[in-house]
Amino acid sequence: MALGNKRNILIGASAVFLGPAGTTKPATVTRASFLSGAAQDGGIAQTFGTGSAVTDWRNVGYTQDGLEIANDPSWGEVEVDQLLDTPAMFKDGMTFSISTTFAEATLENLLIAWGQAASTLVSTANDKTITLRGGSLGEAPVERGLIAIGNAPKAAGASAYRERVYHAYNVLSVEGSGHTMARAEATVIPVTFRAMPDDVTGDYGTIRDALT
């Protein structure tokens, strides 16, 4: 009797990209096409794969502590007189969140962690400046799209991992984020994204294993 399948054991980090909220991902999504074309700084329009033009998808660069994807449903209970336990439960809440730590402390990554719009970063020939926005009453958080590309289970007969693509349609950075400037430590930027459901379908996104 087989105990399991070691091809399904996943090891390794993912590459993380941020872009326009609510957009479909590129027709060709592979680490090779993204890492060779995605802008490391500035979010310049790029072309990924064959004939798939995508604007403003940006590689956030190195990360630490991996990528954590959390599914957090909440359930309500129905109580009845005749039982000590509940006979029925129903879902009354749902959240998805995605967390990581940016190991590249660029201003582009900093404004993402702080939930600010790209327009608050101004670049010139010699410097870059972020305006620390306090916001105003009724101001909505900045929505972005997120794509993460990591390992998928190995295909039968193959020795290398295939690719798993996470695509969150709309994510918001709405939690506090702090970083340090220390003598003996690298400056890193922790960030947690709250995924938001699509207005039409109610879906948060997709996860696709490219096995062929």
Could you list the mean pLDDT of each consecutive 10-residue stretch along the chain, which spans 212 residues? Answer: 84 85 64 50 39 60 92 94 94 94 92 87 87 82 88 79 86 88 92 92 86 61
Q: Total structural domains in the chain? A: 1
Q: Is residue 171 part of a domain?
A: yes
The pTM of this model reads 0.82
Q: Find out whether 131 and 92 touch, Cβ atoms under 8 Å.
A: no
Amino acid found at 137: L
Give the range of the structural domain holding residue 147, as residue numbers without chain letter.
12-70+95-133+141-210
Position 40 scores a pLDDT of: 41
Position 50 scores a pLDDT of: 36
Position 77 scores a pLDDT of: 95
Tokens 């399948």 found at: 5
Position 33 scores a pLDDT of: 56
Q: Is residue 80 part of a domain?
A: no
Amino acid found at 181: M
Q: Is residue 3 part of a domain?
A: no
Q: Is residue 5 part of a domain?
A: no
Please, where are the H alpha helices in the chain? 31-37, 107-113
Q: Is residue 85 part of a domain?
A: no
Contacts of 149 (CB under 8 A, 6+ apart): 14, 15, 17, 29, 30, 31, 34, 163, 164, 165, 166
Q: Is residue 26 part of a domain?
A: yes
Q: Find out whether 146 and 123 touch, Cβ atoms under 8 Å.
A: no
Q: Is residue 202 part of a domain?
A: yes
